[in-house]
Amino acid sequence: MNNMSQDAVLEVRDLHTHFFPRRGIVKAVDGVSFSLNRGEVLGLVGESGCGKSVTALSLLRLLPGDAARTVGGQVLLDGEDLLRKSKNQMRRIRGRRIAMILQDPQTSLNPVFTIGSQLSEVLTKDPTIPGGGVMQKAIEALRKVKLAAPETRVRQYPHQLSGGMKQRVVGAIATSRAPKVLIADEPTTALDVTIQLQYLQLLKELQANSDMAILFITHDFGVIAKMCDRVAVMYAGRIVETGLVRQVFDNPSHPYTQALIASVPKMAHTEARLHTIEGQPPALSELPQGCRFEERCPFAEERCQTTYPKTFDVSEKHSASCWRLEPV
């Protein structure tokens, strides 16, 4: 059995996931490591295309066909490496022990089946539920996510529900079997601000009632502040900074984290222009030898071009990968 932290329910070690187009290799996830404790919400934040969703799909072994493959690392769920499980074993693990809310409920729900039938498909895999009680369990699952009139909703089709209702249905499907780990991949992206806040509060309530651990993927530092206990900042396939949310907000230590936080509009200040991060992330098929943020970094020095920085401790539970943090 692999050694894990006593409180960790999920531990990811040196995860590498590559895409294989006709030419070259796209290193979408290139050495990602993090842990997730019971009852904790860990935020994974970064620009679009940095590898957040591919990381999530790698954990669940849901990569697209032969186009992508996890080529190295470990994904330890309660000490068991999911990357060593067979396809049949993973089918039994998904939903029951680890589940995922995908980004877009429009594409997550099948338009030709009712809400009840799609929830029932998940619940029928639970041997503790008798056949005649599946639909009642489906109604209870919808009630837990505070969807109004669940007895009516189970007979309706996705097109008859609003975007916020569909997102609650997707949440009900993911949490219906009380998984230990829930991966929420930008679940509020398609929601307006009012519904977004309600949905975040709902996830927190579901977690509080079950001690579920949540990996919350987003590009929004405002959502991180409301939702998460810890945060991991991802850039170009790697995590560049991790820490408690308050530590990272009060003392962002990687130049990329500093730039991300600076780009968040502040209601108390009126500025002529919002802060932007100049340039573009490197192509994941042509990653530089040194720091991947070097071309966009105002503090870059010569060794940043040639050597990827080590990870240095900023304080207890707070670390970042930047040469500026190297002890003198």
Burial class (CB in 10 A: 0-12, 13-18, 19+), 86: exposed
- Ordered by start, the domain boundaries in the chain are 8-97+179-325
> What pLDDT sits at residue 275?
79
> What pLDDT sits at residue 17?
98
> What pLDDT sits at residue 1?
40
Report the predicted TM-score, pTM, of the whole model to 2 decimal places. Answer: 0.92
Residues in the chain predicted with pLDDT less than 50, given as ranges, are 1-3
> What pLDDT sits at residue 2?
46
pLDDT tens figures, 227-282: 999 999 999 999 999 999 999 999 999 999 999 998 887 766 666 677 788 889 99
Per the CATH hierarchy, to which homologous superfamily does domain 8-97+179-325 belong? Answer: P-loop containing nucleotide triphosphate hydrolases (3.40.50.300)
